[in-house]
A and B are shown apart, each in its own frame.
Chain A
């Protein structure tokens, strides 16, 4: 015996979650197995579709318009622009993100003071859009050094935003330790827990609003680093807005990212609601099979737990997620040993300039038009295995700003066609 399902998805990042969700919604019996938490917690929580072309042109206004001109090996070319749209519809359906009302990219200020073209953004970031012309105040906390509000404001100003922007730094009420965790702020605000202000216990939300109020001139919107609550982030924002009489928004931050974490929670909940089985904490390490994957093995401290399915989706991420690994000998995909095209000379893998055009950024699997990985001989490696997300090659998510979009689109395509095989 083994643990059985119709579609088995390996990897719990954006790509794995989307493919499991797509397959489950098509009626397939789905199981998702993931090792660690996904790179969503490291990402900003913004969902980029395509911000720049592979040649660096941009920022693009309409990512969908640019997709047909991408190179053939690009994952968007593999799945086609209609599938990208359907995939984004699924995403919009299960999340509460904003941006779905238009094809054009939104411009969202980042914690470094740059403006980033993105397709979907958390509602909590909505009042901060750079295309809005209301004046803006950024508020940073002196204990959170990753966000220097005056510096970010100066950057935004230099970028030519159509409004006045100022930055102020305050002490978070209650004097949290200098390296307090983002979850500590979030929990305090979620529960409106007590903080000591001049010797008196005050509820955190009130204390924060009171501290910021005197700093607001005539700005109509105030941005904080993205630590405004976790479970009840909408409640935290609404409370601050009513106490401050302005719109409040969050500026997406570097890792660890609360918006990324909230998105992850949301997607897991949707997957649960769709009836899929989920298992995290242990890696898939091996498989049985020839032209078909018969079963895979999940490793728990030496014990190998067999799992079988009819169709498999590989969504184990790229170099960061550990779906693609490298050593001195080469670059490889560790579970199925799918072929990863790369130069034999490892000095060709990266550019000597740190910010150069690194080939490793595009490392990943090549597939047929059904997302099935191809071997050296251009033949499909396994008839029932599809790949999705940053385990795929042919694109550079950091340069193009396409990371989440590619994961969602290919995840959706892989999940939908895997489900079609079993129905």
Chain B
């Protein structure tokens, strides 16, 4: 704009903004709703958030984050009968808008609460859409069943006629392949290997080798999430080996789903139930000096940001403040760069990778981590394929009516992947991995696998 008419002209230097004094306060005594008005008030309608929304970019019916957040909030404050607009269900909860707002409006928190209210008060609980969403959101439950009979599940889930029925009756797209279930879950592997005791033994050995005190206080609680438990246990194994290599004792406490797919589908009650289990097991450990480590960036995002924004559970703040993404933690506490400079990789991980940064890594400041970290590693190349959203956003791209849009959003990423040097993809997010594979046919790896291969030799 020409700054001749910049918003500065009516800028009020003492107007409140969200900053330290922003505190959501409960106004509805018996409900979980928060009054986000101070956040809504600091919106000055610059629409910068809208430029970040991958859904608004392809979907003409979606009014965008500014409407979903502050505007809808205002409508609700002034009109008691105002019903949440059903477009809030089209928001994929990628949380990109959060990153944009120069005024600190808590956009995704607003969307999550509005969506929760829409689902609990306006959505027909007998509708196919509701149950479809609920099944998708409760991936952990299906995965648990499937993991009992992985071969059968792998076959049945991708069996053509069954998929046709799922699409016609439930609105789950038949375009996608269901992720494969591992023959042995991460937790089964972990238990077979000797659990925490074995980890302690290995960590001590490593500390001795590294010349560190045997009783050094290096211990982490691994939040593996559903996906690396049921589908890609190799990621969990890589995490454990890498941490043990640096002398950390790992524990794998009881845990449920992080809640990410539930937030995105407005199933806040489901999410809360899972969060309560996770917070309670993690906060006990945090009290004993453990840090919580996640290998999935949506899981770490949930524990760090969405939990404290949405729920009031004992210990939630402490867990949030002590949760880290797995590679990030090592960067802070160890000389990871030095170690990488001296390492190299060979075998099937000596490759060129086309790296996509998940949206949920972005807000954590991790979107460039892999590219920058592996710059100095011999034997591999990691190329960033750009800032486009992958388009799948968890359950969003699984919905029959969203499938096309999800592919349209991802198109730019597929294109960049195909132009990148490597034919292997890399990302931290399991659903982004699914989309990358679906759009390009590439194999997708997790940075932890590469790190572990380079440093822990496995």
Task: Indicate if the CB atoms of B334 and A360 lie closer than 8 Å.
Answer: no
Q: Which residues from 101 to 121 on chain B have a C-beta closer than 8 Å to any C-beta of chain A?
A: 101-102, 104
Cβ contacts under 8 Å, A187 to chain B: 57-58
- Contact residues in B for A300 (Cβ distance below 8 Å): 304, 364-365
How far, in angstroms, from A397 to B365 measured CA to CA in the complex?
A: 30
Q: Is the CB of B1 within 8 A of A398?
A: no
Q: Given A255-B48, A298-B365, A397-B3: A277 and B411 within 8 A (CB)?
A: no
Q: Does B50 contact A (CB under 8 A)?
A: yes
**A320 pairs with B2, CB closer than 8 A:** no
B15 CB to closest chain A CB, in angstroms? 9
B323 at the interface (CB under 8 A from A): yes
The CA of A258 and the CA of B48, in the complex, are separated in Å by 10
B1 A255 Cβ-Cβ under 8 A: yes
Please encode chain B, from 1 to 42, with 1 for each CB lying within 8 Å of some chain A CB and 0 for all others.
111111011110110010100000000000000000000000
B3 contacts A403, CB within 8 Å?
Answer: yes
Stretch at the interface among A94-102, A108-116, A198-206, A237-245: A108-116
Q: Does A68 have its Cβ within 8 Å of any Cβ on chain B?
A: no
B102 and A36 contacting across the interface, CB-CB below 8 Å:
yes
Q: Which residues of the other chain, A, contact B366 by a CB distance below 8 angstroms?
A: 279
Q: A42-B1, A320-B102, A326-B13 are in contact. Are A256 and B47 (CB under 8 A)?
A: yes
Q: Which A residues are in CB contact (< 8 Å) with B60?
A: 176-177, 180, 184
A181 interfacial by beta-carbon distance below 8 Å: yes
Known: A37-B48, A184-B60, A303-B304. A328 touches B2 (CB 8 A): no
Write the nearest CB–CB distance from B145 to chain A, whole angstroms.
Answer: 34
- B57–A401 CB distance below 8 A: no
Chain A residue at minimum C-beta to C-beta distance from B59: A184
Quick check: is B165 within 8 A (CB to CB) of the other chain?
Answer: no
CA distance A277 to B375 in the complex (A): 11
| B418 shortest CB reach to chain A, Å | 15
A305-B332 contact, Cβ under 8 Å, with A179-B63, A279-B365: yes
Partner-contacting stretch, out of B122-130, B314-322, B345-353, B394-402? B314-322
Q: Is the C-beta of A257 less than 8 angstroms from some C-beta in chain B? A: yes
| Contact A37 B411, CB 8 Å, known A301-B320, A398-B6 | no
* A residues near B48, Cβ cutoff 8 Å: 37, 41-42, 255-256
Asked whether A281 and B50 contact (CB < 8 A) given A303-B304, A306-B332, A346-B14, the answer is no
In the assembled complex, how far is the CB of residue A333 from the closest CB belonging to chain B, in whole angstroms?
13
Nearest CB to that of A363 among chain B residues? Answer: B13
Per DSSP, chain A at the interface is loop
B365 lies within 8 A of A282 (CB) = yes
The chain B residue with its CB closest to the CB of A350 is: B13
Q: Are A1 and B333 in contact (CB under 8 A)?
A: yes
Does any Cβ of B come within 8 Å of A137's Cβ? no
Does A158 interact with chain B (Cβ within 8 Å)? no
Q: How far is the CB of B86 from chain A (nearest CB, A)?
A: 15
Residue ID in chain A nearest B328 by CB atoms? A305
- State A265–B324 Cα separation when bound (angstroms): 28
Contact B57 A184 (CB under 8 A): yes
Residues of chain B with a CB closer than 8 A to A397's CB: 3
- The smallest C-beta distance from B429 to any residue of chain A, in angstroms, reads 15
List A299-327 residues whose CB lies under 8 Å from chain B: 300-303, 305-306, 319-322, 325-327
Interface residues of B (CB under 8 A from A): 1-6, 8-11, 13-14, 17, 19, 46-48, 50-53, 56-58, 60-61, 63-64, 67, 99-102, 104, 304-305, 308, 317, 320-324, 328, 331-335, 362-368, 372, 384, 387, 411-412
- Sampled A-B contacts (9; CB under 8 Å): A181-B47, A181-B53, A184-B60, A187-B58, A254-B5, A256-B51, A277-B372, A278-B372, A301-B308
Interface residues of A, Cβ cutoff 8 Å to B? 1-3, 33, 36-37, 39, 41-44, 46, 110-112, 114, 116, 176-177, 179-184, 186-187, 191, 231, 252-258, 261, 265, 272, 277-282, 298, 300-303, 305-306, 319-322, 325-328, 331, 334, 346, 349-350, 354-355, 360-361, 397-398, 401, 403
Other A-B contacts than A110-B2, A111-B2, 8 sampled, CB-CB below 8 A, are A3-B331, A43-B1, A114-B2, A183-B56, A184-B57, A187-B58, A256-B50, A301-B323
